[in-house]
Amino acid sequence: MAQDLTLTYNTANLVTVITDNTAALSESFGYDKLYRLVNSTGSYGALVWKYDATGNRTKQTLNTTVSNLAYPATNNRLTSVGSLTRQYDAAGNLTQELLSDGSTRSYAYNALGRLSAVTRTVGGSGAMPVASYYHNALGQRVAKYVAASGQWTYYVYDLDGKLLVEQPGNSTAHRGYVYLDALPLALIDVPVNPATQATKAYAIHTDHLGTPMRLTDTTGTVVWALDSTPFDAIHGAFGLPNEDVDLNGISITYNARFPGQYFDAETGLNYNYFRDYDPTTGRYIESDPIGLAGGLNTYAYVGGNPLRYTDSLGLVAEVCVRPTQGYVIPGQHCFVRYNGNNADTSSFDLNGVHPDPAPAEATSCTKAEGRDDDDCVKREYQKCENYHFTGNNCCHCAENALKACGQSIPTKAWPNYPFNPGPHPGEPGYQP
């Protein structure tokens, strides 16, 4: 069997134990009162994290090794990890960091705030190129060049932004990706010359959130494995994928990590569409482009709980509220906004399901918690029909769509609470 995991939850629906059929890979977890992950134990040892009042990680302990993280009093920009300092530009993007080998790594960004180039300086030498990244008009990374290998890689995405094709410039094959909604199912390596090489297909085995953990070939043999720490950090050899599990001398490189993330070996960062995630610190190196709509801490990854939440775009879906239009009785209208974009919304009223006509009038937006899957929410919205002002309204539709996709907002965040949300026909406690 490629993978056999059993999850145990506490009364707050937080994962406390993941039992692996390989006992040595089992893990246990602990949380604080804000549901942030504060400790974990696994084959990597014992990890402990501490946070400040705004959710910044201030300390990490791995067994007996301690790392202290520092921040200024005026913002949430990480300025040092131990003695290794960091610098930022005016937009809050990381521009320079001191590495443990004494070298300095620098980051440059394009006009849209996407990471476009990385260089490295050793001693008094000039800046040496590490990698260059290229983006299309949608902000998707469509190509990268790694200086050390001279390797170009090109990327193609579907209409929802999921990676469909990966083409190394000097490779004899390109790779296609297959999904079920947002869940990765398979990858297929297609040779440029099928007359001399065979197409290879691999099944993807994920954890409960959709992070790949195993690849199996067409015989069911495990050929690639990743056993990572909760925040995907690499500690020594742990957290690095085993690219030749079956010991046949053929290595398989697969760079998918947390949902929506792609590992860049040249930097150790995970490309996350709008931003870049740093597994070593459990946070992004760029401030959230949607600002405070994503939360008070614009660098935090999923509120410090990577076992419960994901962020496939480096952004969030939100339930927004504005005054109702066209009703004598005052009320609040609910709609869902995606990625902080007022041009990308779902709304339900007497006219059915459609983009919200007045998203700019929103008086508040609340970040949805749970599995990040905008496609699912949009699809579930289409099931809303037979609008009724009190019994099946805009907020009911938003709630049901989020619920069907494993997402939610706090109960008291709904504008018409306690009438919304509420039990619906067929659910316990429903009253017509």
pLDDT per residue as tens digits for the range 235-284: 777 788 999 999 999 999 999 999 889 999 999 999 998 899 999 999 99
Instruction: Determine the pLDDT at residue 291.
Output: 72
* pLDDT of 1 above 80: no
Q: SS3 for 52? A: coil
One domain, residues 197 and 223: yes
* pLDDT of 293 above 70: no
One domain, residues 364 and 282: no
* pLDDT of 96 above 70: yes
Q: Is the model more confident about 332 or about 56?
A: 56
Mean pLDDT calculated for residue range 70-88: 97
Mean pLDDT calculated for residue range 376-404: 87
One domain, residues 375 and 275: no
Q: By CB neighbour count within 10 A (0-12 exposed, 13-18 middle, 19+ buried), where does 60 fall? A: buried
Q: Of 304, 338, 360, which residue constitutes the final position of a domain?
A: 304
Q: Is the model more confident about 81 or about 182?
A: 81
> How many residues belong to the chain?
432
One domain, residues 267 and 347: no
Mean pLDDT calculated for residue range 354-370: 85
Among candidates 233, 283, 219, which has minimal Cα distance to 65?
233
pLDDT digits (tens, 9 = 90+) for 409-427: 877 778 866 656 655 555 4
Instruction: Determine the pLDDT at residue 101.
Output: 93
Confidence tier at 355 by pLDDT (50, 70, 90): very high
Per the DSSP assignment, residues forming a β-bridge with 67 are 60
One domain, residues 261 and 342: no
Instruction: Determine the pLDDT at residue 202.
Output: 98
Say how far apart CA 255 and CA 261 lie, in whole Å: 8
Structure-token match 């009364």, residue found: 11
Instruction: Determine the pLDDT at residue 331.
Output: 75
One domain, residues 133 and 273: yes
Work out the mean pLDDT of the chain and round it to a whole number.
89
One domain, residues 256 and 342: no
Instruction: Determine the pLDDT at residue 66.
Output: 96
pLDDT digits (tens, 9 = 90+) for 5-64: 999 999 988 999 999 999 999 999 999 998 999 999 999 999 999 999 999 999 999 999
* pLDDT of 231 above 90: yes
Q: Is the model more confident about 367 or about 203?
A: 203
Confidence tier at 429 by pLDDT (50, 70, 90): very low
One domain, residues 287 and 329: no
**Residue 32 covered by a domain:** no
**Residue 1 covered by a domain:** no
At 207, the amino acid letter reads D
Instruction: Determine the pLDDT at residue 294.
Output: 62
45: its two tokens: 């040892």
Instruction: Determine the pLDDT at residue 430.
Output: 47
Q: SS3 for 200? A: strand
21 close to 35: Cβ distance less than 8 angstroms: no
Mean pLDDT calculated for residue range 93-119: 96
Per the DSSP assignment, residues forming a β-bridge with 129 are 119
**Residue 21 covered by a domain:** no
Indicate the helix (H) or strand (E) that contains 97: strand 94-98
Q: Which domain holds residue 253?
A: 67-304
Tally of domains within the chain: 2
One domain, residues 327 and 251: no
Cα distances (angstroms) measured from residue 340 to each of 72, 289, 321, 344, 367 = 27, 8, 14, 8, 10
**Residue 312 covered by a domain:** no
215 close to 261: Cβ distance less than 8 angstroms: no
Among candidates 70, 72, 44, which has minimal Cα distance to 57?
70
Q: Of 251, 279, 304, which residue constitutes the final position of a domain?
A: 304
Say how far apart CA 326 and CA 187 lie, in whole Å: 50
**Residue 153 covered by a domain:** yes
Q: Is the model more confident about 371 or about 118?
A: 118
277 close to 314: Cβ distance less than 8 angstroms: yes
One domain, residues 252 and 321: no
Per the DSSP assignment, residues forming a β-bridge with 272 are 275
One domain, residues 274 and 133: yes
At 136, the amino acid letter reads N
Instruction: Determine the pLDDT at residue 190.
Output: 93
Say how far apart CA 80 and CA 92 lie, in whole Å: 15
Say how far apart CA 153 and CA 160 lie, in whole Å: 21
Mean pLDDT calculated for residue range 173-195: 91
**Residue 370 covered by a domain:** yes
**Residue 422 covered by a domain:** no
**Residue 35 covered by a domain:** no
Q: Of 242, 276, 304, which residue constitutes the final position of a domain?
A: 304
One domain, residues 225 and 122: yes
